[in-house]
């Protein structure tokens, strides 16, 4: 899949480029904060959190992203609009990366997107997500707010297999995002469980082959809940986590939601290797230009 005949679309959100031919741009690593049991989160309703813990995690994430020359995004999770706004604002003040506004549903996401727009953060805010449940009324609200960026989530009981996900994307999700007048979007192929990640792998390949859209997925919840590997200790668990993320990268995915930010050092160096060798192929074999920012330039 390093030779895809379909033109690969590239979008830029703030300082991050998603998509393009595999290897042209470094893979985007998306780290989650304020997830369930996140040590920094003290009260999800009010958005109270331990700033010192989060600052250190964000600094560590930034450091390893810069050392490996990958790209970074922060996934901000929240169920309550005011808390989500407060959390996104803190993240935006502490890193230069874009961030996902990952509300529990539209009743939390849409007010948060409105508040962030009023703060002047709409260029960096990525709605997560537009999906099967996004209504026409809510699409109109997103249009009125002027939301610029979104994730399209190919999730649904009727959309389990690769061609079903592609059909759902083409016939439902893309018309929805167009109705909301959102120009920049990426596609999440929606992980169901750990063994079915093979379906996400093939769905990503198919979408990139057919539509050329920036595509990826989130193995995080599936792998972190895998109890079998815990029998072998933390080193083995870290290896398993890194292995499933590299599987995601070789689809080839343009971005990976790798889960809790605390696992950045477990995952990101391994992905930098995949991203770097993809860039080598792009530059040496295809004789195409790669980004000045690339693991190829630093890790070998």
Which pLDDT belongs to residue 97?
98
Share of the chain above pLDDT 70, in %: 100
Per-residue pLDDT, 106: 96
CB 190 within 8 A of CB 215: no
On the CB side of 58, CA atoms within 13 Å amount to 25
Give mean pLDDT, residues 170-179.
98
**pLDDT tens per residue across span 28-56:** 999 999 999 999 999 999 999 999 999 99
- Interval 179-209: pLDDT, tens: 999 999 999 999 999 999 999 999 999 999 9
- Within 10 angstroms of residue 38's Cβ, the number of other Cβ atoms is 20
In the structure, what pLDDT confidence band is assigned to residue 2 with cuts at 50, 70 and 90? confident
Calpha distance 5→16 (Å, rounded): 24
d(C-alpha 120, C-alpha 118), whole Å: 5
Mean of pLDDT values over 271-283? 97
Q: Rounded CA gap, 287 and 39, in Å?
A: 46
The predicted model gives 78-85 an average pLDDT of: 96
How much of the chain exceeds pLDDT 90, in percent?
97
pLDDT of residue 157: 87
135-164 pLDDT per residue, tens: 999 999 999 999 999 999 999 889 999 999
Asked whether the predicted pLDDT for residue 115 surpasses 80, the reply is yes
pLDDT of residue 169: 98
Q: How confident is the model at residue 3 (pLDDT cuts 50, 70, 90)?
A: confident
pTM of the shown model: 0.97
Rounded distance, CA 151 to CA 119, Å? Answer: 21
Task: Place 1 in a pLDDT band, splitting at 50, 70 and 90.
Answer: confident
Assigned CATH topology for domain 10-297: TIM Barrel (3.20.20)
pLDDT in tens, 220-275: 989 999 999 999 999 999 999 999 999 999 999 999 999 999 999 999 999 999 99
């Amino acid at each position: 899949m390093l030779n895809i005949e379909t033109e690969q679309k590239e979008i830029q959100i703030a300082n991050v480029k998603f998509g393009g031919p595999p290897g042209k741009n470094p893979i985007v690593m998306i780290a989650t904060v304020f997830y369930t049991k996140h040590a920094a989160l003290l009260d999800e309703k009010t958005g109270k959190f331990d700033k010192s813990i989060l600052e250190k995690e964000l600094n560590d994430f930034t450091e390893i992203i810069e050392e490996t020359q990958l790209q970074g995004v922060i996934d901000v999770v929240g169920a309550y609009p005011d808390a989500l706004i407060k959390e996104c604002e803190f993240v935006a003040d502490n890193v230069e990366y874009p961030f996902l506004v990952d509300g529990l549903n539209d009743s939390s996401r849409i007010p948060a997107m409105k508040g962030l727009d009023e703060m002047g953060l709409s260029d960096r805010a990525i709605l997560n997500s537009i999906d099967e449940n996004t209504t026409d009324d809510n699409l109109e609200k997103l249009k009125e707010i002027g939301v610029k960026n979104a994730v399209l989530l190919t999730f649904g009981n009727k959309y389990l297999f690769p061609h079903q996900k592609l059909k759902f994307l083409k016939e439902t999700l893309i018309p929805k995002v167009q109705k909301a007048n959102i120009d920049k979007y990426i596609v999440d192929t929606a992980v169901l469980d750990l063994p079915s990640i093979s379906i996400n792998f093939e769905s990503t390949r198919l979408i990139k082959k057919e539509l050329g859209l920036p595509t990826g997925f989130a193995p995080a919840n599936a792998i972190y809940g895998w109890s079998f590997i815990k029998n072998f200790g933390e080193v083995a668990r870290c290896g398993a986590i890194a292995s499933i993320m590299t599987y995601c990268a070789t689809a080839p995915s343009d971005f990976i939601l790798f889960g809790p930010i605390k696992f950045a050092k477990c995952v990101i160096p391994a992905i930098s290797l995949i991203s770097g060798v993809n860039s080598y192929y792009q530059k040496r074999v295809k004789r195409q230009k790669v980004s000045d920012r690339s693991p190829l330039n630093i890790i070998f």
